């Protein structure tokens, strides 16, 4: 299983800023290993963030995203002390969900 995501969420003037650092190999399927064999594609294909059961971010990704991707976004309506959950799913069906509290 992948390492936990590092998530920070801070509210200011009714807007919550969320920063996420995800740990993932993000292989494109176009690179070759030392023996010349193609390294199979393995990348995050979907990212979802929820707040109070409501989706505040939904993204579909492809192979053009860097290893250990960083994502930042804002949304309105969150308050200090409430939770944000972030889930990613990759092209091999692996998933990871982590959460943080809004500061």
Spatial separation of the C-alpha atoms in residues 28 and 34, rounded to whole Å: 16
Q: What is the pTM of this model?
A: 0.90
Establish if 97 belongs to a structural domain: yes
Q: Which of 69, 64, 71 is nearest to 41 (CA)?
A: 64
Q: Write out the chain's pLDDT in tens, 103 residues.
A: 568 999 999 999 999 999 999 999 999 999 999 999 999 999 999 999 999 999 999 999 999 899 999 999 999 999 999 999 999 999 999 999 999 999 9
How many domains does the chain divide into?
A: 1
Establish if 62 belongs to a structural domain: yes
Residue 1: what pLDDT?
Answer: 55
Establish if 80 belongs to a structural domain: yes
Tokens of 51: 């707040």
Establish if 92 belongs to a structural domain: yes
Establish if 1 belongs to a structural domain: no
Could you list the residue range(s) of the whole structural domain that residue 23 is in?
6-31+38-101
Residue with tokens 């971010």: 57
Establish if 16 belongs to a structural domain: yes
Establish if 12 belongs to a structural domain: yes
Exposure class string for 28-58: b at 16+ Cβ within 10 A, else e: eeeeeeeeeeeeebbbbbebebbbeeeebbe
Write the CATH number for 83. Answer: 2.60.40.10
Residue 17: what pLDDT?
Answer: 98
């Amino acid at each position: 299983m992948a390492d936990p995501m590092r998530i920070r969420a801070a509210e200011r003037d009714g807007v919550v800023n969320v920063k996420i650092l995800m740990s993932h190999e993000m292989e494109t399927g176009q690179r070759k290993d030392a023996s010349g064999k193609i390294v199979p594609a393995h990348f995050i294909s979907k990212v979802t963030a929820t707040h109070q059961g409501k989706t505040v971010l939904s993204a579909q990704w492809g192979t053009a995203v860097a290893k250990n991707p960083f994502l930042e976004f804002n949304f309105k309506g969150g308050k200090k002390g409430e939770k944000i959950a972030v889930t990613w799913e990759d092209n091999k069906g692996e998933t990871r969900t982590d959460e943080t509290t809004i500061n």
